[in-house]
Structure 1
């Protein structure tokens, strides 16, 4: 059940934009006010208004409602998360597989957001109560690098980077059969009409673009290690685009095949390198999220370790995409920020 919502009424004394009027009277960030309007929680003259640029007239009554988020039932936070880097604005983590990023009605266990709160990490509030600090996400089964915003200004700057593609990630995965060639896949993604749990390339979906690079073929089976770079951020994007090629990530029982009891207990997909510009200094930064043991042992059983170490050098990987390698930060090392305080990676 939701808690009671808070409704307030204001009278405008001069004309102007609705979002500016509300921002001046109720505070918060412009993004928060804009979301309040777009989601239908604001009325002008008794009618719901969803356009932030709506022109308010003098003496017009503006009514707004601050919704209370539902209280979700979650379990105890019984896990830890490796921290790669931290300062006053951002926290870079290596999310383990099996952890949900933020609460939802269907999620009963503790989430990454719960862990952040339990650790006392300051978090941005732009995305709403249940998504504090979350700028981008990873699926529950996927591990790897994520950035968490510790204040609203940092969150806004990072969100802009997502839009202009100056922030992103490089993924590594093991697929069940080699790709025919490296290359780029474009296919609009939307909900699969035949299975609501899955996404698919569908008419009317949102534009999606992924580049795949062949890295290393297994000598013990049909498996291949690949890398992927996303140019858009659609749900299950890598998995959907691979499925369109007749390929599937090992351990992916939703889009691929069940691995059988006692064999592979996670999807072999990992966000390996994260790149962004620091929200305050503008410095280009790159971070490496070490492959977790739950995935590493399986990958090493398919490929020779020496070849893996060579192919998974971060700079070598980035050059395959013709991208620059700038001061890559390996997990657990702080680059020496005068404001940041290093938190050692924890297992």
Structure 2
């Protein structure tokens, strides 16, 4: 089988490994391995330097080595499919499901489920991330798009990079936000105090999130908010909320240890996802229904009459004006 190939053109001065990490959605270590295996050329010339400084308009060509197939683990769960065609699969990821295999992950993942379904997937980012264009944290539920071929994967990855793919989240936080709209634009890196956490770090990667008030809880101690990601850093929403002394209910890593927070899952849901379809070039939008745990919590602690009107996907998208970009 001929190894897969991909092409990208730079639009700014940037390190080679950083550029490919952003373009392919792989880890820096995986990109370094590709470069060291002589799989990458810049303007037709092979390079083994991960830190090579690229200039605008340079052409980067990646020739991927053949991937060895690994057997899927046994799967005892189902995943809701929101949409599927020859190019993409949009799903509603359940909470507690890890997206892709890793040495520390022992249970079946979303990738294992995809393999059991016999779905043809992109291999652009390697065996362990079959077709995964973007990820959600294990505890976060909601909308995800999967690429079923390399052309779709590349097109969607570019939309992530140029921010034409949009994601809106719903979260229940405490205490409520002070302002109707709160924008946090602060870099995020690995925490120096807890390797399981990320933190605000001046040496980290740029990260920007906007938060909007939706509805206070019946006792006004909590609040349902909408969140928009302008970047996609690990734990971004949780870290930015922690930076203003807010936390998501059920988040026992970044939240408090308050006895009142007995949630078994974090109340964070990737509610709406929009992008340009890689083949039809039409703008498409998908809304992932809330899981029963989050739906029940909202019905119990919030005004149910207002709730569903306020979380209308069209209304939420209109809340986030282009003026905040």
Q: TM-score range by the shorter chain?
A: 0.7 to 0.9
Name the SS for the 1:215 alignment partner: strand
Report the aligned-residue RMSD: 2.6
Once the two structures are TM-superposed, the CA of residue 54 in structure 1 deviates from its matched residue by 6.2
Aligned equivalent of 1:163: 161
Aligned equivalent of 1:55: 45
Q: Larger Cα Rg: Structure 1 or Structure 2?
A: 1
CA distance in structure 2 between the partners assigned to 1:318 and 1:178 by the alignment? 21
**Is 1:183 paired with 2:182?**
yes
CA distance in structure 2 between the partners assigned to 1:118 and 1:55 by the alignment? 40
**Is 1:40 paired with 2:39?**
no
Name the SS for the 2:275 alignment partner: strand
CA distance in structure 2 between the partners assigned to 1:117 and 1:298 by the alignment? 33
The answer to whether the 8 Å contact 1:212/1:227 transfers is yes
Within-5 A mapping of 1:71-86: 75-86=73-84
Aligned equivalent of 2:302: 303
Q: State how many pairs are aligned.
A: 284
Once the two structures are TM-superposed, the CA of residue 220 in structure 1 deviates from its matched residue by 2.3
The answer to whether the 8 Å contact 2:250/2:263 transfers is yes
The answer to whether the 8 Å contact 2:2/2:66 transfers is no
Aligned equivalent of 1:94: 92
Aligned equivalent of 1:219: 218
Within-5 A mapping of 1:59-138: 66=65, 75-138=73-136
Once the two structures are TM-superposed, the CA of residue 50 in structure 1 deviates from its matched residue by 6.4
CA distance in structure 2 between the partners assigned to 1:71 and 1:257 by the alignment? 40
Once the two structures are TM-superposed, the CA of residue 315 in structure 1 deviates from its matched residue by 1.2
CA distance in structure 2 between the partners assigned to 1:117 and 1:71 by the alignment? 10
Once the two structures are TM-superposed, the CA of residue 263 in structure 1 deviates from its matched residue by 3.1
CA distance in structure 1 between the partners assigned to 2:6 and 2:169 by the alignment? 33
Distance verdict in 2 for CA 1:281–1:50, change over 3 Å: closer
Distance verdict in 2 for CA 1:142–1:68, change over 3 Å: same
Aligned equivalent of 2:24: none
Name the SS for the 1:196 alignment partner: coil
Once the two structures are TM-superposed, the CA of residue 214 in structure 1 deviates from its matched residue by 0.6
Distance verdict in 2 for CA 1:70–1:257, change over 3 Å: farther
> Structure 1 residues 245-254 or 313-322, which shifts more?
313-322
The answer to whether the 8 Å contact 2:3/2:64 transfers is no
CA distance in structure 2 between the partners assigned to 1:145 and 1:209 by the alignment? 20
CA distance in structure 2 between the partners assigned to 1:112 and 1:31 by the alignment? 27
Name the SS for the 1:285 alignment partner: strand
Distance verdict in 2 for CA 1:275–1:66, change over 3 Å: closer
The answer to whether the 8 Å contact 2:4/2:66 transfers is no
Once the two structures are TM-superposed, the CA of residue 53 in structure 1 deviates from its matched residue by 4.0
CA distance in structure 2 between the partners assigned to 1:191 and 1:207 by the alignment? 13
Distance verdict in 2 for CA 1:30–1:301, change over 3 Å: same
Name the SS for the 2:227 alignment partner: strand
Give the gaps of 5 or more residues in structure 2. 9-19, 21-30, 47-62
Distance verdict in 2 for CA 1:79–1:248, change over 3 Å: same
Once the two structures are TM-superposed, the CA of residue 314 in structure 1 deviates from its matched residue by 1.1
Distance verdict in 2 for CA 1:282–1:113, change over 3 Å: same
Within-5 A mapping of 1:246-285: 246-258=245-257, 260=259, 263-285=262-284
* CA offset digits 1:268-314 (Å, max 9, x no partner): 00000000000001100111100010211112211011111111111
Distance verdict in 2 for CA 1:261–1:70, change over 3 Å: farther
CA distance in structure 2 between the partners assigned to 1:53 and 1:250 by the alignment? 49
The answer to whether the 8 Å contact 1:38/1:52 transfers is no
Give TM-score scaled by structure 2 length. Answer: 0.81
Within-5 A mapping of 1:134-145: 134-145=132-143
